[in-house]
Amino acid sequence: MLSEIGIKMLKIQNIINCKLKIKDDSGVKDISVKEIINNRFIVLFGVPGAFTPTCSVKHLPSYIKNYKDIHSLGVDEIICVSVNDPFVMHAWGKFNNTQNKITMMSDVGGNLARAMGIEANFGPNLLIRMERFSLIIKENEIKYFIKDERGSYGKTSAENMIFELKNIS
């Protein structure tokens, strides 16, 4: 039932024009959510911060471990996003060997986090970030949206997304 509540709270129109950044070997590029989802099947998950304990030890590794299972369910792309700069997200991805598995994107300034209603103050070390979440978008429609309570992990894991993906038509 949480997914139904999340879907009602978050509409694709709220986030479609948000811009994210991605760094690759040719530099940093801006890309809109509209361009990312464009009639595709996407799993997008967000973390409070790259190189932080839960994000680095549990959340991102769950997607790295399960990326083949997620793609086997028809998903076109798995995207990890955080309110970090694109250089940090690129470095975190390289450090964790996400190439050809998970696309690492940056929500510089927290525009996506604000549009989703998941912007949060994480205190003097992390400052303003996004809450931990997972989102499934298929053919330009939000099919599932959930977030974990601060300090928690599990609802937004790859294992839970695999379960939810099996229920999406």
Q: What is the CATH number of the domain that holds 109?
A: 3.40.30.10
pLDDT of amino acid 30:
96
Name the amino acid, one letter, at 147.
K
Domain that holds residue 30: 2-165
Tens digits of residue pLDDT in 98-151: 999 999 999 998 999 989 988 776 666 666 778 889 999 999 999 999 988 777
Rg, the chain, Cα only: 14
Comparing C-alpha atoms, which of 1, 68, 43, 36 is closest to residue 133?
Answer: 43
Q: Count Cβ atoms below 10 Å from residue 124 Cβ, excluding itself.
A: 6
Tokens of 35: 């361009």
Question: Between helices 60-72 and 158-165, what is the axis angle to 10°?
Answer: 20
Tens digits of residue pLDDT in 12-34: 888 999 999 999 889 999 999 99
Strands 41-47 and 77-82: parallel
Which residue among the candidates 42, 55, 60, 142 is catalytic per the annotation? 55
> Does 18 qualify as catalytic in the annotation?
no
pLDDT of amino acid 32:
95
- pTM score: 0.89
Number of domains in the chain: 1
Alpha-carbon distances, residue 53 vs 58, 99, 126, 151 (angstroms): 8, 21, 12, 10
Using DSSP's 3-state secondary structure scheme, residue 65 falls into helix
Owner of token pair 């979440």? 133
On the question of pLDDT at 52 being above 80, the answer is: no
